[in-house]
Amino acid sequence: MTLEIPSRAFTPDILSILVALTIAYLLCGASPLTAQDECKVVEKVGADALKQVHNTPTHVYTTTKINGQSFSSEIIYAAGSMYVKALGKWTSAGSINDVEQSEQQMQHGANSKNTCRQLKDESVNGEVASVYNSHSETPKGTVDLQLWISKANGKLLRQDTTSNGAVISSRYEYSGVKPPL
């Protein structure tokens, strides 16, 4: 169930923080995990899938749950740019190159403890996907991440992230995607 919040409930600063928080959690999937063999596999599979998100027109639908409230947002990666939709309005969020630089800056530090594993295969919208899980403990808290990667083409189909009381669920679609602006 998605909680509809009137647009007057958000100031531009709060909206910017919400969008930035959602993007930050989405980008956690691109972070290197550890030198452990299992984490190296999850890191490579996740990084390869994220490259496809950046290089293929992709529409990401995200629901963020914080303190019992749900917020929906959308992101489109297309034509070398990223677009974000929040509160019904599309805005440009910069080039994909800018996003990739931000991802590199958000990598987990050496002080994190990580465990990773491949779980069972599952179907996502009729497509068979391998499910990967990582759990990271950092000085700032824990991050639990699950990725559903298509077995047919290696594309990211779904991502769930839980961290510090926030739950972020994203689904990825690749057909018929065009820049919204």
Say which CATH number the domain at 142 has: 2.50.20
Q: Is residue 181, in this structure, part of any structural domain at all?
A: no
Q: What is the pTM of this model?
A: 0.76
Confidence of residue 74 (pLDDT cuts 50, 70, 90): very high
Q: Is residue 4, in this structure, part of any structural domain at all?
A: no
pLDDT at 11: 38
pLDDT at 66: 95
Q: Is residue 3, in this structure, part of any structural domain at all?
A: no
The domain in which residue 140 lies consists of: 10-173
Contacts of 9 (CB under 8 A, 6+ apart): none
**Cα separation of 107 and 134, whole Å?**
14
Is the pLDDT assigned to residue 102 strictly greater than 80? no
Q: Is residue 91, in this structure, part of any structural domain at all?
A: yes
Return the closest-CA partner of residue 164 out of 146, 131, 137: 137
Q: Is residue 45, in this structure, part of any structural domain at all?
A: yes
Q: Is residue 178, in this structure, part of any structural domain at all?
A: no
Return the closest-CA partner of residue 75 out of 30, 24, 126: 24
Q: Is residue 97, in this structure, part of any structural domain at all?
A: yes
Mean per-residue pLDDT of the chain:
80
Mean pLDDT for 141-170 is 96
Is the pLDDT assigned to residue 14 strictly greater than 60? no
Confidence of residue 98 (pLDDT cuts 50, 70, 90): confident
Total residues found in the chain within this entry: 181
Phi/psi at 63 (nearest 5 deg)? -120, 125
- Say if residues 114 and 36 touch (Cβ distance below 8 Å): yes
Q: Is residue 98, in this structure, part of any structural domain at all?
A: yes
Is the pLDDT assigned to residue 32 strictly greater than 80? no
CA distances from 108 to 9, 39, 81, 125, 133 (A): 33, 13, 25, 31, 16
Structurally, the chain folds into a number of domains equal to: 1
